[in-house]
Amino acid sequence: MNTGSILILLPLLIIFSYLFDLIAKKTKFPSVILLMITGIIARTIANSYGFDNTVLLNSLIPVLGTIGLVLIVLEGALELDIRKEKLGLILSGFFAAFIVLTLNIILLKVFFTTILKIPNDPATLYAIPLSIISSAVVIPSASGLLTKDKEFVIYESTFSDILGVVIFNYSIQQLGLNESLISLTPIIQLGIQILGIIFLSLVITYLLARLIQGIDHHVKFFLILALLILVYAIGKYFHFPSLLTIFIFGIFLGNGGDLLPNFMTKSINAEKTKKSLHEFHVLTSESTFLVRTFFFLFFGFSISLNSFMSPEPYFYAITVLLIMFGARYLYLSFSTFSFNTAPLLYMSPRGLISILLFLQLGTLKDPSLKTNIIDERVLLLVILISMLVMLFGTLKNNKIKENIPFEIEIPRNEEIDSDFSNKKIND
């Protein structure tokens, strides 16, 4: 493909992605599904012309996915409003993410080991990506929910991303060393690492906030993004939960530095930080849109429809989905003391992080940690169907809201009497 063709193709892909976003806002249909379908169609057309070399794209997908992961977590953290009155909702979202994630991992592992006869170690590793809620998909789709439900979904999906990645990296490290997952020493070490990451994140946030204020050059926010990706890559190299750094930086910056300790805020201009925040948030959103566009397009392009002819992936995917929504329904029923858990029940799609962790499993050198039974076909089906279920739930919720009659508040008798008395006095 020559330069002219590439220069025509790339802008067209971005334009299509923008149109898909507009369609998603009008119809609530997830734009990432349209992106993947576009990639699959492009792969079919390319195969018909004899182009089947996807080596370059396969190498680009993990890189784009990692950058997308950092940007999505950062964008989600920037939108979190942390205040004392919302502490209960934040804790509710955290516990929901942790308990539902743990339930999914345990139940999926049981299904993989007992029914599919997958060994314990790969069963655990492959259960984790399938258990993580995609904040990149669920947050835009939550716009039609009530304010409380919307905030709960934002907190839950963001914490699910963070906890899922931390548990996944911890599991790979432990299983790679042939050590138990549930052991006091490594769990204490993980806790110490997390505390160290939180302290380091405070320092990095303070330094980057000072950097934002001190740089007079017209290009500064891409420098901040580059430094954050560098911090994430270095932490990942040393097997630290460095995604927490991105998350904590986003929270502190998103709240204008108000959450920083007093000795740090004395040297930071809060008003200037909040003014710069809007520009940084716009840049993060634009960058996330661009990376997400090419990631899901390339992922769709890497999929061949010929591999979906066998019935096994459909059976595995449907079973995974039943377990997934069953665990979620179980938790929501107990936590809310209600059997009517819609529409929160449907807000559990899988997406970019699940794909990225699956790709990471493919790079493991130890064959005993891999399985060919749960592959990209199962993952794609789980992603597509979970998004469609979320779409169905969102549309159903909007339809119910439209059918609720307009309520007129009727004042109490004493209020009427009081108003009448006041009127007589005034007269």
More confident residue, 338 or 424: 338
Going by pLDDT thresholds of 50, 70 and 90, the confidence category of residue 177 is: confident
pTM of the shown model: 0.81
Whole-Å CA distances, 391 to 24, 317, 388: 10, 18, 5
Most confident of the ranges 104-108, 148-152, 393-397: 104-108
The pLDDT tens digits of the residues spanning 101-115 come to 999 999 999 999 999
C-alpha angle 187/189/195, rounded to 5°?
Answer: 105
Tokens of 332: 């929501």
Q: Are 104 and 327 within 8 A, CB to CB?
A: yes
Question: Nearest CA to 180 among 100, 92, 121?
Answer: 121
55-78 helix and 352-362 helix, angle to the nearest 10 degrees = 140
Residue with tokens 């910056």: 253
Q: What is the pLDDT of residue 416?
A: 42
Q: Residues 69, 128: contact at Cβ < 8 Å? A: no
Amino acid at 95: F
pLDDT band at 424 (very low <50, low <70, confident <90, very high): very low
More confident residue, 354 or 412: 354
Contact assessment for residue 34 and residue 20, using Cβ atoms and an 8 Å cutoff: yes
User: Looking at per-residue confidence, does 412 or 366 come out higher?
Assistant: 366
Domains and CATH numbers, the chain: 53-273+305-398 (1.20.1530)
Across the chain, what does the average pLDDT equal? 79
Higher pLDDT, 384 or 210: 384
- Residues 3, 15: Cα–Cα separation, whole Å: 19
CB 344 within 8 A of CB 396: no
Neighbour count for residue 326 (Cβ, 10 Å): 13
pLDDT tier, 217 (very low <50, low <70, confident <90, very high otherwise)? low
Neighbours of 156 (CB within 10 A): 27
Helix (H, G, I), strand (E, B) or coil at 184: helix
Q: How many CA atoms lie within 13 A of 115 on its CB side?
A: 13
Closest CA to 73 of 176, 183, 207, 164: 164
